[in-house]
Amino acid sequence: MNRSKGSDLRMRAIHFTFRAALVTGGLLVGLMFPSFLLWAAEPAPAAPSPTDRRQGLTLIEAVAQALERNLDISVSRQNKNIRLTDIIFEQAKFDPTVSANGQYGRQVSPLNRPVFGLSGAALSDIQKFDQNNSQLTLDMTQNLLTGANYDINFAPQRTFVAGPTTFLFNPSWSSGLAVTLTQPLLRNFGVEVNRTFIQIAQNNVKLEEQILRDRILTVVAAVEQAYWELVFAYENLKVAQAALKAAEELLASNRAKAKAGVMSIVDVLQAEAAVASRVEQVLIAEKAIGDQQDQFRRLLNPAEEELRAETRIVPLDPPAKTLEAISLTEAIDTAIARRPEILQAGKNIDTSQLNVQFAKNQMLPNLSFQGTGGMAGLGNDVGNTLSRNFGGDYYNYGAGLVLSYPLGNRSAVSQYNKRQLEAKNAVSTLQNVRQQVIVGVKEAVRRVQTDFKRIETTRSARIMAEKQLQAERERLNVGLSTTRFVLDFQRDLATAQGNELRATVDYNKSLSNLTRTTGTTLEKYRIELQQS
């Protein structure tokens, strides 16, 4: 609120109140001295106030600013990104792991008995066994979506024994390739079971998307509600100013008539009291604008410097006054299809069913197939060794089954029972949310229809109040009415105008509430959320 303008209005209120008291106190004197009664100087014009700093703002611009700066939305976006990392974490459990291990060792030990290829048939003295080993081990292991796990191991080795030997190769090169496969056949068998936690992580991302959507709907709805309240505050000020102007015009007319001797001082006093009351209403209306501006600006999450500024936010969009066609059935169907709460509850059901299936699988015995196979090679150099290793002349293989089962299996059974109860709760929650949404949509539709009817009825009341005021003015001009009745009709007109304005603003707030209730706010503003 401009301080100079507010101070001017307060001074005018004090001025009229003081004059009313002064004239009342001098009523008897005025009856004796008519010249005193005709004292009616106009108040001195107020000094021009500095131009207000104003910022015009449309509803779309306000929504854009609020969404861009809202901290809750920023947190929700980060939560979604966190959930995306959970998907990668679960998928990474099926990534292969590769390892390499290189070793060198030398062992010099005394011999107390003959060693084939190194010593003779009998020892006459302690001999040294000096052996050098260089080994490289390459290994790769991976968990598969079927539940299987494989391990591939390849280990080439070089061995050298110092001194005279009778080995075929010295130094010798050897290598071994071994493959091990373990496949569960009951518990943890199958792609669906092993994808459980990946799917749960994906569902959690969808949940965060709906949480983000819900927060956006909430922010937009709050901005819309505050925007229309700010519109009401400005329009209500215009109503108060119009009422003040009408009261001042009546006061000027009464003063002129009192000077001419055709109207009593009581009518002047009544008009002055009415002007003082109207000034008060203007002051209150201007304060309401300031208060509503602060609340609205806070929703836009401005910087502290902007919040401290005295810039007036002027809403540029007029409120709608036409009735939109509304189908209750379509509104309910739309809300059920788009409301974030319902979509969240649906994803919770999907997650609970995944948990039930996994827990059911965990009650099965642990029966696994294990198979091994390998090939070996030996030579005097690397190439010769590898050729013999993969030639297929030297090999091994084996297979078997491993069965284990905890007696009673109480842990798995209790977990399965728990997951079943959680699944039932998820279904009940969805039913409850659907019922709340249906009731909320019906209430929102009724509110829209009722508020539009209020616009029509309050408009009719305002038109009748204008006609009554006009008629009463004409009666006053011909001496058939009094100032009191005209002031009453002026007050009734201001009340009717305020009621019509309130009905119009409430109608627009109801439209905003309807789009929030049906979950169509994003489509209204053409806001698109990036899907994962």
Q: Look at 254-263, 297-306, 359-368, 513-522 and tell me which has the smallest mean pLDDT.
A: 297-306
CA nearest to 8, candidates 241, 243, 268, 269? 241
- Please report the pLDDT score of residue 76 as a whole number: 87
Question: Does residue 316 contact residue 231 with C-beta atoms inside 8 Å?
Answer: no
CB neighbours of 354 closer than 8 A, spacing ≥ 6? 196, 199, 200, 203
Q: What angle do CA 392, 397, 401 make, to 5 degrees?
A: 160
Take residue 351 and report the two structure tokens written for it. Answer: 């997650």
Is the whole-model pTM more than 0.85? no
Take residue 268 and report the two structure tokens written for it. Answer: 């002047």
CA nearest to 276, candidates 1, 3, 14, 5? 14
Reported as a pLDDT band with limits 50, 70 and 90, residue 49 is very low
Reported as a pLDDT band with limits 50, 70 and 90, residue 526 is confident
350 by Cβ neighbours in 10 Å (0-12 / 13-18 / 19+) ranks as middle
Q: What is the dihedral of CA 414, 416, 420, 421, to 10 degrees?
A: 20
Rounded to a whole number of angstroms, the CA Rg of the chain reads: 45
Reported as a pLDDT band with limits 50, 70 and 90, residue 437 is very high
Average pLDDT over residues 261-275: 90
Considering only residues 310 and 38, tell me which one the structure prediction assigns the higher pLDDT.
310
* Average pLDDT of the chain to the nearest whole number: 86
Question: Does residue 377 contact residue 174 with C-beta atoms inside 8 Å?
Answer: yes
Report how far residue 96's alpha carbon sits from residue 142's, in angstroms, rounded to the nearest whole number. Answer: 4
411's enclosing H/E stretch is helix 410-477
3-83+200-349+425-524 under CATH 1.20.1600.10, yes or no: yes
Q: Look at 29-33, 79-83, 201-205 and tell me which has the smallest mean pLDDT.
A: 29-33
Residue spans per domain, the chain: 3-83+200-349+425-524, 99-143+148-187+384-404
Q: Look at 70-74, 235-239, 346-350, 367-371 and tell me which has the smallest mean pLDDT.
A: 70-74
- Please report the pLDDT score of residue 178 as a whole number: 96
- pLDDT per position as a tens digit, 454-509: 999 999 999 999 999 999 989 888 888 888 899 999 999 999 999 999 999 999 99
Q: Give SS3 for 200.
A: helix
Take residue 75 and report the two structure tokens written for it. Answer: 């947190």
Average pLDDT over residues 375-384: 89
Bridge partners, 135 (sequence order): 103, 157
Phi, psi of 309 (to 5 degrees): -65, 155
Considering only residues 448 and 25, tell me which one the structure prediction assigns the higher pLDDT.
448
385 by Cβ neighbours in 10 Å (0-12 / 13-18 / 19+) ranks as buried
Q: How many CB atoms lie within 10 A of CB 470?
A: 12
On the question of pLDDT at 93 being above 50, the answer is yes
- pLDDT per position as a tens digit, 149-182: 999 999 999 999 887 777 888 889 999 999 999 9
On the question of pLDDT at 323 being above 80, the answer is yes
